[in-house]
Structure 1
Amino acid sequence: MSETREMRLVALGFGYSARAFVRQARPASVVGTTRSIEKADDLHRRGVRSIVCEAGQGSETLSEALRNATHVLVSAGPDADGDPFLHEFERDLAHAQDLEWIGYLSTIGVYGDHRGAEVDERSACLPMADRGVWRLEAEAAWQALGRRIDVPVGIFRLAGIYGPGRNQFISLETGRAKRIIKPGQVFNRIHVEDIAQTLVAAVGRPAHRVYNVADNEPAPPEDVVAYAASLMGVEPPPAVAFDEASLTPMQRSFYGEVKRVSNARIISELGVRLLYPTYREGLSALWESGRWRESI
């Protein structure tokens, strides 16, 4: 892919999905924020100009980068006080003369529990956990900013992310994998490279729009663990009933929500064709590459 010469990207929270997006989009310049010197050094090695900045703290360097940006990708999470970057740098974004697009990485957790029914972008958002409420509020705040400054804001509601360096093979190898059985429970997932290609497609068709970014097959989590174990040639962990499983409060809350997420909009409107339509293609490709331990 040729370099996107017109794209001057600022990534507020330069994490896993942002790295994959940059690899595919190849912007002319990239500024990424991080909270640690160690991560800043890693970004520098990747050719990313890094700014060590805690969300919610001022930074003249970041203010200048935002004023010069053509594209902004936001992946830092909000808290009870809202989106920290938006609070701190809203004025800079409003004065970004060349700004063409803002992408906000959210979560399908904003839908809450739909008792196994299919949800699309028009479905009611009924978040059960505080973090889902905060995400929904942050979505609305970024959308409101986009309308005020006349810049398209894409909201991307991501399913469970996996890919190189973040997958069930690693969980199995480290003994962290669990095969928890809760009848009727399914989750959608999404490979990080499919997140990246969706973002690239959205940049090409900027719009004030919400998109679900999920795979084609919501599946029981125990099936995914078993499939990964079969590829590795190891025994899967023993099945454990949900009521007997040792889970953190956050892990348990995920099991309190059941929904089947439709990805029809990214297919019909953005022309996305998933590289990994289900967990089977994604895990098989990771295993066959032999690079499943390596992060992107």
Structure 2
Amino acid sequence: MKSINIFCFGFGQVAKSFIKKLIIEKYNITLTATSRNKSSKENFNGINFNNYLFDNDKFDNNLLLELKEANHILVSIPPEKQDDLVVKNFSNFIKSSKVKWITYLSSTSVYGDHKGEWVNENSQTKPTSFKGISRLRAENLWLSLQINKNLPVQIFRLSGIYSNEKNVLVRLKLGTAKLISKKDHYFSRIHIEDISNILFKSLSKFKSGEIYNIADDRPSPSEEITLYGSKLLNIKNLEKIEINNLESEMLKNFYKDSKKISNTKTKKYFSYSFKFPTYIEGLNYIRDNFI
């Protein structure tokens, strides 16, 4: 049985999905995680672990001992005021740890707006949102550590994540999904299981200093996906909202950027075939098994 000692900065949906994948693959798992809540002992799918307080610059010093023992580190917490809190607080401790695999989860928002054209890992990064600017700064901090302190770092740029629990079908059933019309607006998405599967692949095929786009094969307009979801659920007469009539600033910012994310490098390097290559397979599977 293979063993892994993994430290998760943040224990959200991606980290939990990855741990589930390790359980399925019958790994012997030593797990430590952080959250903004007070330190506690937790259990996740039969695994007992310490969940340590880490909130901005405040953290439980007890986590340092476990961080030094970790051989794998997954970083999924977002930057705070354009600072990567892990780099800021723990870069020296990580340098003296036993780590051989660090994955920083970034976002495709770092690319900004490319007018609906394809982008790959070598494309210009010109983020338009505060989130994208912060993510790009954090990426550069991690890559600087990789170069200057010889740390084993890879970066995953994640597209819009959906899962069996969080998806357009659930929003349609709740009546919260919006049919938003904007001509030639493309964005990419990824089912959380495919993220976990690629993370798992990278355990045995790791190359430090690399960046990978994690996106499915079919970038599509939001309107196309919502219409397909409504067809699956037989929901008719959805109200269409023009982009200029949106009230949510977050949604307005989302529709500023249009790009198609290429996953060619990821598929080729990891020899990976997507479980859900497009939203069609993903939503059909969710409808048949969870709705």
Aligned partner of residue 60 in structure 1, secondary structure: coil
Deviations 1:49-102 (A, max 9, x none): 322321332322211111000000000000224101211111210110x21010
Give the match for residue 44 of structure 1.
Answer: 43
Q: Report the CA distance shift for 1:81/1:118 in structure 2 as closer, same or farther (over 3 A).
A: closer
1:4 aligns with 2:2: yes
CA distance in 1 between partners of 2:219 and 2:190 (Å): 10
Aligned partner of residue 123 in structure 2, secondary structure: coil
Deviation at 1:119, TM superposition (A): 0.2
Deviation at 1:164, TM superposition (A): 1.9
Deviation at 1:186, TM superposition (A): 1.3
Identical columns (%): 30
TM-score (norm 2): 0.93
CA distance in 1 between partners of 2:197 and 2:58 (Å): 31
Q: Report if aligned partners of 1:116, 1:184 keep a CA contact under 8 Å in 2.
A: yes
CA distance in 2 between partners of 1:236 and 1:150 (Å): 57
Q: Report if aligned partners of 2:56, 2:80 keep a CA contact under 8 Å in 1.
A: no
Deviation at 1:279, TM superposition (A): 0.4
Q: Report if aligned partners of 1:225, 1:236 keep a CA contact under 8 Å in 2.
A: no
Q: Report the CA distance shift for 1:112/1:81 in structure 2 as closer, same or farther (over 3 A).
A: closer
How many residues of Structure 1 are paired with residues of Structure 2 in the alignment? 284
Between 55-64 and 222-231, report the one with greater CA deviation: 55-64
CA distance in 1 between partners of 2:83 and 2:154 (Å): 18
Q: Which runs of 5+ in 2 are unaligned?
A: none
> What is the 5 A alignment of 1:24-63?
24-26=21-23, 27=27, 28-36=29-37, 43-46=42-45, 47=47, 48-63=49-64
Q: Report the CA distance shift for 1:10/1:155 in structure 2 as closer, same or farther (over 3 A).
A: same
Give the match for residue 95 of structure 2.
Answer: 94
CA distance in 2 between partners of 1:277 and 1:251 (Å): 25
Q: Which runs of 5+ in 1 are unaligned?
A: none
> What is the 5 A alignment of 1:60-139?
60-96=61-97, 98-139=98-139
Q: Report if aligned partners of 1:55, 1:85 keep a CA contact under 8 Å in 2.
A: no
CA distance in 2 between partners of 1:65 and 1:257 (Å): 40
Between 181-190 and 232-241, report the one with greater CA deviation: 232-241
CA distance in 2 between partners of 1:119 and 1:131 (Å): 19
Deviation at 1:226, TM superposition (A): 1.4
Aligned partner of residue 212 in structure 2, secondary structure: strand
TM-score (norm 1): 0.91
Deviation at 1:40, TM superposition (A): 5.8
Paired amino acid for 2:8: A
Between 191-200 and 236-245, report the one with greater CA deviation: 236-245
Runs of 4+ in 1 over 4 A off after TM superposition: none
CA distance in 2 between partners of 1:169 and 1:236 (Å): 16
Q: Report if aligned partners of 1:79, 1:131 keep a CA contact under 8 Å in 2.
A: no
CA distance in 2 between partners of 1:72 and 1:264 (Å): 25
Give the match for residue 205 of structure 2.
Answer: 205
Deviations 1:224-256 (A, max 9, x none): 11111222222262112111233x212111100
Give the match for residue 233 of structure 2.
Answer: 232
Paired amino acid for 1:131: K
Deviation at 1:148, TM superposition (A): 3.0
CA distance in 2 between partners of 1:143 and 1:57 (Å): 24
CA distance in 2 between partners of 1:267 and 1:242 (Å): 34
Q: Report the CA distance shift for 1:193/1:91 in structure 2 as closer, same or farther (over 3 A).
A: same
Aligned partner of residue 164 in structure 1, secondary structure: coil
Q: Report the CA distance shift for 1:172/1:87 in structure 2 as closer, same or farther (over 3 A).
A: same
Aligned partner of residue 105 in structure 1, secondary structure: strand
1:152 aligns with 2:152: yes
Aligned partner of residue 133 in structure 1, secondary structure: helix
CA distance in 2 between partners of 1:176 and 1:255 (Å): 18
Q: Report the CA distance shift for 1:202/1:229 in structure 2 as closer, same or farther (over 3 A).
A: same
Deviation at 1:45, TM superposition (A): 4.1
Please give the root-mean-square deviation of Cα atoms over the aligned residues, in Å.
1.7
Q: Report the CA distance shift for 1:286/1:13 in structure 2 as closer, same or farther (over 3 A).
A: same
Paired amino acid for 1:145: L
